[in-house]
Structure 1
């Protein structure tokens, strides 16, 4: 595996783990954080009422993102090789890229719901996805 693939997958893993930690911070930050990070007014109101749903959903997302970070670290050789590493990295990259591109059909089909959140979160996901994709591509022979 080349240094470039190690570096890209290490960055990819760090981005996913950082996103996971950001989701954990939202849980502790409460309703205002749900609003600020674009979870929507409905989630913020449920958090204000101390309902469990926003916490469980946000925690589930955090767990998925953390797992994705572990897969990137595994592909980089930082931790032991995880099961189904190559297909998992392809799937993770695909989800990030597709989520990143999701704002295009939303903008075209439902411009009324387009918000700054959709734009910046899509750009973040697209960036994460491209880094995951490039790292996976370069590491592919060793996966």
Structure 2
């Protein structure tokens, strides 16, 4: 297994772990609040669980695409494009790290304080996005090119 396939495989496993975590916090409103869920969402148990399970489903889908890119499962449609979009989503989320660090450092004044856990979450998103992008770019030539699912 090449390095890029190992990176995508690790990204896939990480997505499944994140999906499990996301589903788990659905059962704890206090943990959901701690990790940034809005109070209006936490106020409705059904909405909290629905949203958490929807996000878990997306993370599972992300994991399946990463495993597909690694060659662990059959090629999924639009593999290159979807992996690039997933990497972009995580990188954009991770770039929130920059203003968070500036607020914590006192360079920028914010109306609300930034909790250190949000900085950690942004750094993790940036790292996961970097893994997806590295695996996708490194394996671009071997990934199925478009809407087909080539063996």
Q: Does the TM-score normalized on the shorter chain lie above 0.5? A: yes
1:66 equivalent in structure 2:
60
* CA offset digits 1:20-78 (Å, max 9, x no partner): 110111123x212213333244433x15xx3x111111111111111000000000000
2:141 equivalent in structure 1:
141
TM-score by length of 1: 0.86
Residue 118 (structure 1) aligned with residue 118 (structure 2): yes
Aligned counterparts, 1:44-123, within 5 A: 44=42, 46-47=43-44, 50=45, 52-105=46-99, 107=103, 108=108, 110=110, 112-123=112-123
1:37 alignment partner, one of 27, 35, 38: 35
| C-alpha contact 1:34 1:43 (8 A) present in aligned 2 | no
**1:6 CA displacement:** 1.2
Unaligned runs of 5+ in 1: none
- Give the greater-gyration-radius structure (CA): 2
* Cα distance in 2 between the residues matched to 1:79 and 1:109: 48
TM-score by length of 2: 0.81
* Cα distance in 1 between the residues matched to 2:33 and 2:121: 14
Q: Which has the higher helix share?
A: 1
* Cα distance in 2 between the residues matched to 1:114 and 1:103: 11
Q: Between Structure 1 and Structure 2, how many residues are aligned?
A: 137
Question: Which secondary structure does the structure 1 equivalent of 2:26 belong to?
Answer: helix
**1:17 CA displacement:** 1.2
* Cα distance in 2 between the residues matched to 1:43 and 1:120: 23
**What is the aligned-residue RMSD (CA, Å)?**
1.9
* Cα distance in 1 between the residues matched to 2:60 and 2:83: 13
